[in-house]
Each structure stands twice: as structure tokens, then as C-alpha cells.
Structure 1
């Protein structure tokens, strides 16, 4: 059995694990693997916000423009598309893109075609909201976990491959212990989430500065190939408890240290729903995420349901990726978005 931490990222451990060296997990799980050449990844969430059917076609056109821009030089190596309705009644289309080189991503971000579109006065007057939330964890600052071994989604799609069975799963605290940096660092937050340009209540352009060790979780479900029994398991048992937990974080997250929570459904380029979904959750710290996951009834129900069925999953694909970031490896920008969008709600201004 392998460690979730790649050999080249191991170092003498100064922080102890929660389980003994003899621990054996109750079922197999896997993590994404990359070689020494991967030093940092970039995860970019590019959003279009709208309200009402009369804006839908313009919003879809804007989403397609963002997707097309990813084909330019230095564009994302992998992307997916999602939709969600937030608790303010706005629909949001998000393009999630992944890079394996922050320098390449910065060149793309600063290219005339991309920058001119984002900076255009048309973004202020076309009646839509736009946002980009871009984070860049180093290789030691993110972890993955998959209940399957092929066609990895999210950051796994830009990694080299998959591990063998790993040891660090199936117990509280295992998420943290899959982070290579957890060997020597508690990943404690420092600083504040602060508006540094604009006014969220006034609309227009707003920039938010992050702080060290904000945590981001993407937790996904894929039932596209599931047959009747597994589809029923997901739709009738897992999904209701999952939605309850996601709705709690969306509506009450501020009280538990969750800056933003979006439970999104994957779509195609025309906006048609696919049988995939995932959660995008930004947290003030990994501690806050752990505390909620270990103690809140909605997540405990999700966790116990997964434990009950995990060993027998065949076509239902469940996974997550979690990352933390340095303050200067984050970019949060919003144009004409409502003041509860993403990091706007909790940012000090």
C-alpha cells in the first residue's frame, strides 16, 4: 500500500498522524500522481452571472467566449462547464480551467485578447455579472482522493497518472494528512479577506485580496454511466443528504468559516445539464472545513452513507480535491456581481 504523498514530496515528519503506522483502510481509494516537474498548478473559475430567461442567451454567449479563449496560446490544459442557481436568485455559469504552470497561465491572463475583453467598458454595460477566482497551490499544497482510477476530473486531469491503493483515507483527519505540507505545517490562516478596490454594494469592478491558507474544496459526483441500482443510490440516498449539507453551507456558511459554497451541475457548451456535479467551497481555513465535516449532522450523514456503499461502487464516481494557497497566489475579481457572490460577502471593506 502506498502513501498518498509522492516519494519526491516526502520529508522528515515533525507533525504526527492521527492513526498508527499499522492502520489499514477499510476499502481502496486512490490519488492523482505527478512527477517532480510539477511545482504548482493553477485553478481558475471564470463566471458569468445573470437573472431571468431574457439574459440567458447573452450569458451563454459570454460563457462560450471564455471557453474559446482557453484555446488561445497558454490556455488551460483542461476545463469543464457548470451552472448553479444561488440563494439570491441569480444563475451562474462557470468555466473551470486548470494549468500546470502559473507563468503560462499569467501569460494567457495578460494576453491582449483575454485582458482586453475583461477590461473592456462593455463588461460594465452589457447587463451581466462576471467574476474570476484564480488560485495557484504549490505541489505540496493540494491533495486529491478518487473512488476510481481512470479519466480523472478536475486537477487530476492535468496530473501524470494515478496511484496504487493509498493508506491515508477512511478516518477523520486523513484529508489533511494527504497534503505533503502537512508533514511539517499546520496550514494556519493569517491575514484578512479584504476588498482592495471597488465597493461590492455599488457594483462595478471589485477586487478582493485573499489571505494565507484559504482552503478550497471541489467535491464531485458522476452518475453518467451508473446503472439503475447505483443511479437510485445516488439520486435517492446520497443526493438528498448532499444537497442538505450544501444548502446549509450556502445559506449559513459564514457562521462556520465557509466564505462561499456553490453546488454546481455540469453542463455542455449549449447549457444542457449533464449527469455530473460538484461542490466549490472556499473556507477561511482547513481547520474550519475539518470542524464542519467532522461535526455537522448534514456532513456526517453524507460520510456514513459513503462508507456504507463505497466498497461496492462500480459506475458511480465520487472524488474530491482540496488545496490551500499563499496570499499572493490568489486572484478574486468581480464585475457587476451581487454583493453575496463568492468572496464578496465576507470581505472587509
Structure 2
């Protein structure tokens, strides 16, 4: 049995684990593997926001435009497309791209095709909203977990490999202990989420700066190849409880430290729904994410259901990835989005010097 932490990222541990050295997990799980050449990745959530069927065609065209820009030399190694409706009644299309290094992402976003389109005044008058939520965790700042071993989604798609059976799963606290950084660092947050330009209440262009160790979780479900029994397990047993938990975090997440939560359904280029979904959530800290996961009734029901059926899963694919990142490696940008979009809701406005006594 392997450690979830790759050999080249192992270091002398100064923080103890929650389980003894002879712990044996109750069923097999796997993590993505990458060699030492992977130093830092980029996860970019690129959104188009609209309200009303009259804007749907334009929104889909904008989404396809983003996807077409990925065909350039420095486009992402992997991407997927999603749709969700938020609790303000706006529909959101997201193109999620994963880069294996910061340099290629920087070259991509700096090309005239991408940079000029984003900066154009036309973005302000189309009747659509846009956002770019980007984080770039280092290799020691993220972890993965899969109940399957092939065709890894999300960040696993750029990691180029899969582990053998890993030890760190099946107990509370195992998520944290799959982070290489957890060997020596509690990953505590510092600083605040703040507006650095624009005004969310006014709209237009707004930029948000994150703080150290914001936690980002993507937790996914793939039932496209599931046969009737597993399909029923997901749609009838897991999904209703999952939806309750996701709705709570969407509507009341600020009470538990969740900045933003979206439960999204994968789509194709025409906007047709696929039998895949995932939750994407930004949290003020890894601690608060853990606390909710360990105590909220909806998540506890999901967790116990998974334990009950995990060994029998064949075609139902469940997974997650969690990261933290430094403030300098995060940027959240919005154009004409409503003020409760993403990180806009909880970002603090810095007082102008003229307003200070």
C-alpha cells in the first residue's frame, strides 16, 4: 500500500497523523500521480452569466469562443464545460481549464486574442456577465482522491499517472493528510478577501484578491456509464441528499465559512446536459471545510452511504480534488456580474484614505 504523498514530496513530518501507522483503510482508493517536473498547476474557472432565454444564444456563443481560444499553443491540457443556475435566478456557463504550469497559462492569457477580448468595452454592453476565477496551487498544496483508476477528470487529467492503493482515506482528517504540505504546515488562512478595484454593488469590472490558504474543493459524480442499479443508487439515494447539502452551502454558506458554492452539471458545446456533475466550492479555510464535512447532517449521510456501497461500485465514478493556494496565486475577476456571484458576496471593500479619520 502506498502513501497518497508522492515519494519526491515526502519530508520529515512535524505534524502527527490522526491514525496510527498500522492503519488499514476499509476499501481501495487512488490518487493522481505526477513526477517532480510538476511544480505548480493552474485551475481557471471562466464563466458566462446570463438571465432569460433571450440571452442564451449569445451566452453559448461566448462560451464556445472561450473554448476555441484553448486551441492555441498554450491552451490548457484539459478542460470541461458546465451549467448551473444560482440562487439569484441567473444561469452560468463555465469553461474550466487546467494548465500543468504557470508559464503556459501566463502566455495564453496574455495573447491578444484572450487579453484584448477581455479588456474590450464591448464586454460591458452585451447584456452578459463574465468572470475569471483563477488559482495556482503548488504541487504540495493540493490532493486528489478517486474511486476509479482510468480517465481521471479535473486536475488528474494533467498529472499523467495514477497511484496504487493508498493509505490515507476512510477516516476524518484523511483529506488534509493527503496534502504533502500537511506534513509540516497547518495551512491556516491569513489576510482577507478584498476588493482591489471596482464596486460589486455597482457592477462593471471588479477585481478581488484572495488571501492565503483559501480552500477550493471540486467533488464530482459521473454516472454516464452506470447501469440501472448504480444509476438508481446515485439518482435516488445519493443525489437528493447531496442536493440538500449543496443548496445549504449555496444559500447559507457564509454562516460556515463557505465563500461560494456551485453545484454544476456538465454540458457539451451546444449546452446539452451530460450525465456528469460536480460541486465547486471556495472556503475561507481548510479547517472550516473539514468542520462542515464532519458535522453537517447532509454530508454525513452522503459519507455513510458512500462507505456502505464503495466496494461494490463498478461504473459510478466518484472523486474529489482539494487545494489551497497563496494569495499571490489567486485572482478573481468579474464583468457585469450580480453582486452575489462567486467571491463578490464576501469580499471586503478597502476604505479609501480620504474616508479615514
Give the SS at the match of 1:161.
coil
Per-residue Cα deviation, 1:39-67 (whole angstroms, up to 9, x for no partner):
00000000000001110000000000000
- Partner residue in 2 for 1:249: 249
- Partner residue in 2 for 1:295: 295
Distance 2:160 2:8 in 1: 14
Distance 1:90 1:192 in 2: 27
Q: Which runs of 4+ in 1 moved over 4 A?
A: none
Distance 1:115 1:36 in 2: 31
The CA deviation at 1:73 is 2.2
- Partner residue in 1 for 2:353: none
- Partner residue in 1 for 2:309: 309
- Partner residue in 2 for 1:7: 7
Distance 2:216 2:297 in 1: 21
Distance 1:94 1:347 in 2: 21
TM-score by length of 1: 1.00
Distance 1:300 1:101 in 2: 36
- Partner residue in 2 for 1:27: 27
Per-residue Cα deviation, 1:242-263 (whole angstroms, up to 9, x for no partner):
0000000000000100000000
The CA deviation at 1:103 is 1.1
The CA deviation at 1:288 is 0.5
Q: Structure 2 matches for 1:196-275, cutoff 5 A?
A: 196-275=196-275
Distance 2:170 2:241 in 1: 19
Per-residue Cα deviation, 1:132-171 (whole angstroms, up to 9, x for no partner):
0010000000000000000000000001210000000000
Distance 1:70 1:131 in 2: 17
Distance 2:117 2:239 in 1: 38
- Partner residue in 2 for 1:143: 143
Give the SS at the match of 1:276.
strand
- Partner residue in 1 for 2:347: 347
CA RMSD of superposed structures (Å): 0.4
Distance 1:302 1:119 in 2: 43
Q: Structure 2 matches for 1:77-92, cutoff 5 A?
A: 77-92=77-92
Give the SS at the match of 2:348.
coil
> Gapped runs of 5+ residues in structure 1?
none
| In the alignment, structure 1 residue 276 sits paired with structure 2 residue 314 | no
TM-score by length of 2: 0.97
- Partner residue in 2 for 1:17: 17
Distance 2:116 2:81 in 1: 23
Per-residue Cα deviation, 1:88-146 (whole angstroms, up to 9, x for no partner):
00000000000011011011111111000000000000000000001000000000000
> Gapped runs of 5+ residues in structure 2?
350-357
Distance 1:328 1:110 in 2: 18
The CA deviation at 1:72 is 1.2
- Partner residue in 2 for 1:126: 126
Distance 1:72 1:50 in 2: 27
Give the SS at the match of 2:271.
coil
Distance 1:99 1:128 in 2: 26
Q: Structure 2 matches for 1:40-79, cutoff 5 A?
A: 40-79=40-79
The size of the alignment, in residue pairs, is 349
Distance 2:72 2:194 in 1: 32
The CA deviation at 1:300 is 0.4
- Partner residue in 2 for 1:324: 324
- Partner residue in 1 for 2:38: 38
Per-residue Cα deviation, 1:187-215 (whole angstroms, up to 9, x for no partner):
00000000010000101000000000000
Per-residue Cα deviation, 1:251-276 (whole angstroms, up to 9, x for no partner):
00001000000000000000000000
Give the SS at the match of 1:48.
strand
Give the SS at the match of 2:262.
strand
Distance 1:326 1:266 in 2: 29
